[in-house]
Structure 1
Amino acid sequence: MNTMKVSIIVPIYRVEEHIERCARSLMEQSYRNIEYIFVDDASPDKSMARLEKLLTDYPERRESIQIITHDENKGLPTARNSGLRVANGDYIFHCDSDDWVDECMISELIAVAQQEDVDIIYTDFYLSFHTNERYMRQPEFKMPMDCLQGMLCGSMKFNVWNKLIKRKLYVDHGIVFPTGQSMGEDMTIIKLFCKANTVKYIPNGYYHYMQTNPNAHTKRFSERQLVEIQRNLEDVVRYIEQHVAMDLNREVAYFKLNMKLPLLISLDTKMYALWRNWFPEANLFIKNNPAFSLRAKFIQYAALKRMDWLVKLYNQLVIRFVYGIIFR
């Protein structure tokens, strides 16, 4: 059960309050054949000092740990790529350094990988708030193209951190994360599904994704972040058009709608105007996306009709109540 090696890549930047819980959950995995790659992205706080002190508690893991140091902060995608360059595991798992995982995670995922020789395994996960958690169930798909359509429609998440992926997919197809384009870098996972032959869904949550921002229910984007989202989206759409034979024009329209929807989860009415300017050709597909809830359709149609006051009221009353009280 320990014949396959798993490379866990952990970028580190300004996480001194969280790195100990994250690292302990990784060190205490029941699976033994793990290669740990911590990437210090020039973190200015005490994150690395706390990590190095903690690692002394696990001398049996010492030979399996690599620490890569960036001379300057290069961003999350570059940190992931630095880890990928030195990884030599059969499978890759990405873990963000402010999150944590269950100790049985790698053991249970790799057992399926070894038994069925799967390219990508994906699971459910938890959204973790300060006082409680929300279980996030994913849809079960049998084929990579079904997953691809699910991710484009929005029924399946394309996050990097709830998936175990064969390193061979990255290497054989030259897939890397977008250097210098941090916002939306998770979209890179979509490219890997374009090249996968087999997938497997495990209906269990192992990964705890920490919502550290108390205002996470509304979105605030800088000019640079908005540009990065657009560039990454356009890059992924081009990749799909070049590497996938089937017609996904409708699903790509859904994808554009999903990627600009966070602009409406905001109290800034300027974001609503920007929503109208982004990919207006996709607006024709709002009512057709089966993955959109009635609430999602409601705020999009309100924005489309320039009823910005209604979109703002929705955010004030509904989003703040749900995420500010129930899931805080």
Structure 2
Amino acid sequence: MKVSILVPVYNVERYIARCAESLFNQTHNDIEYLFVDDCTPDRSIDVLRSVVGRYPRRKGQVRILRNAANSGIGAVRQRLIDESTGECVTFVDSDDYLPPRAVELLCAEMEHSGADMVDGAWQRVTQDGVSPAILPYQGHDTRRYLGLMLCQNIVSNRMWGRLYRRRLFTGNGIRLTPGIDYAEDYSVMSRVLFYASRSFINDPVYFYSDENAASYTHTTSTRHVRSYLRSCRVVLDFYTKNDTEGRYLTPLQLGMANAIRNVRRIGFSLEEADSLLGYTPHGPLFRLVAAMLRGRCPYRLAEALYLAARKMFIGNEKGDNKQ
């Protein structure tokens, strides 16, 4: 099973050697390594080439591409998918790294289960050390898992730490949207799972670095809020078109209500949010939830109604949203 490991590179001079070494030390042999230099301003690519030189048996499997202009993570990940040739793909951020058997274990489960996507456990890396393993969602019902993901903030929508059959993207027209560089995972995973069967393993397959203060997850800006709302809009438009039976209408509405809730909580313009999101609630409950979140009702009261509506859908189920 040929696996393409897809790695964007931007401003990671301190971390890229650790990342690349972990990739080249994988026990699985049939790997294509694709790196895209998104016009990084530092020496990341020089460091990467130096590491490649220390792994002569992997050198022929490595391609380093360069963007003509800085494009952002969404466009870079899409280029990586377009350029890949493996039956399967996995995404690795260049400040993160993998344990040696990560790809081997994910491939073994995919071959055993026949699933389109396999999740693994992961561990957080901070200046204080490495966390215990954070397990993937343990449920076996992919439809239930997708419903929980659409709700937001219950199960993880991360793109990394998973192995995918490449045809999930290429065969279903699932593309990342240029300019959506924050919360892009939600817009992608919510569409991929509409078509995918899922399996999981509890072996750690990914080390997620919380050390890089320059990463997207360490900052929240107006640009990021707009990107998040555009991501939600991609999901809303997709399900409006494709979920003709309304199977996911309730969790989709909970997710869009959560977007309004986040906007209200951080003080972003509700008018701009409505123009970007374009969400019209369905049914009296969600019309009331949206009206309270958008209106002059005290935030705590509006949030309490939203949480009560979500509780009716998820019950006491626990997810894996540890990010």
Both proteins in one fold, TM over 0.5: yes
User: Hey, what does 2:166 align to over in structure 1?
Assistant: 167
User: Hey, what does 2:15 align to over in structure 1?
Assistant: 18
Work out whether residues 116 and 164 of structure 2, in 8 Å CA contact, stay in contact via their aligned partners in 1: yes
Q: Please state if 1:158 is matched with 2:157.
A: yes
The percentage of counterpart residues that share the same residue type is 24
What whole-Å deviation, never above 9, does each CA across 1:93-144 have from its counterpart, x for those lacking one?
Answer: 0000000111100001101112222101112212221112333222222232
Taking the TM superposition and a 5 Å limit, the aligned residue runs for 1:18-167 are 18-134=15-131, 135-153=133-151, 154-167=153-166
User: Hey, what does 1:274 align to over in structure 2?
Assistant: 268
What whole-Å deviation, never above 9, does each CA across 1:201-220 have from its counterpart, x for those lacking one?
Answer: 1122221111135699x975
User: Hey, what does 2:285 align to over in structure 1?
Assistant: none
Task: Report the CA distance shift for 1:262/1:129 in structure 2 as closer, same or farther (over 3 A).
Answer: farther
Structure 1 distance, partners of 2:73, 2:214, is 22
User: Hey, what does 1:221 align to over in structure 2?
Assistant: 220
Work out whether residues 139 and 155 of structure 1, in 8 Å CA contact, stay in contact via their aligned partners in 2: no
SS in 2 for 1:42: coil
Structure 1 distance, partners of 2:260, 2:134, is 21
User: Hey, what does 1:299 align to over in structure 2?
Assistant: none
- Matched residue type, 1:33: D
Structure 2 distance, partners of 1:213, 1:24, is 18
Structure 1: which 5+ runs fail to align? 265-270, 294-328
- Matched residue type, 1:84: I
Q: Please state if 1:252 is matched with 2:263.
A: no
Q: Give the TM-score normalised by the residue count of structure 2.
A: 0.80
Q: Please state if 1:285 is matched with 2:306.
A: yes
Work out whether residues 12 and 40 of structure 1, in 8 Å CA contact, stay in contact via their aligned partners in 2: yes
Work out whether residues 194 and 243 of structure 1, in 8 Å CA contact, stay in contact via their aligned partners in 2: no
Structure 2 distance, partners of 1:21, 1:259, is 36
What whole-Å deviation, never above 9, does each CA across 1:50-80 have from its counterpart, x for those lacking one?
Answer: 0000101111111111111112111011111
Task: Report the CA distance shift for 1:204/1:246 in structure 2 as closer, same or farther (over 3 A).
Answer: farther
Structure 2 distance, partners of 1:241, 1:142, is 26
Structure 2: which 5+ runs fail to align? 275-288, 294-302, 317-323
Work out whether residues 119 and 199 of structure 2, in 8 Å CA contact, stay in contact via their aligned partners in 1: yes
Stretch of structure 1 that moved more, 205-214 or 67-76: 205-214
What whole-Å deviation, never above 9, does each CA across 1:153-173 have from its counterpart, x for those lacking one?
Answer: 332111110211110111111
Task: Report the CA distance shift for 1:287/1:169 in structure 2 as closer, same or farther (over 3 A).
Answer: same
- Matched residue type, 1:191: R
SS in 2 for 1:165: strand
Equivalent pairs counted in the alignment come to 282
Task: Report the CA distance shift for 1:25/1:260 in structure 2 as closer, same or farther (over 3 A).
Answer: farther
Structure 1 distance, partners of 2:18, 2:257, is 36
Structure 1 distance, partners of 2:308, 2:222, is 29
Once the 2 structures are TM-superposed, how far is the Cα of residue 262 of structure 1 from its aligned partner?
6.1
**What root-mean-square deviation, in Å, do the aligned CA atoms of Structure 1 and Structure 2 show?**
2.6
Task: Report the CA distance shift for 1:15/1:258 in structure 2 as closer, same or farther (over 3 A).
Answer: farther
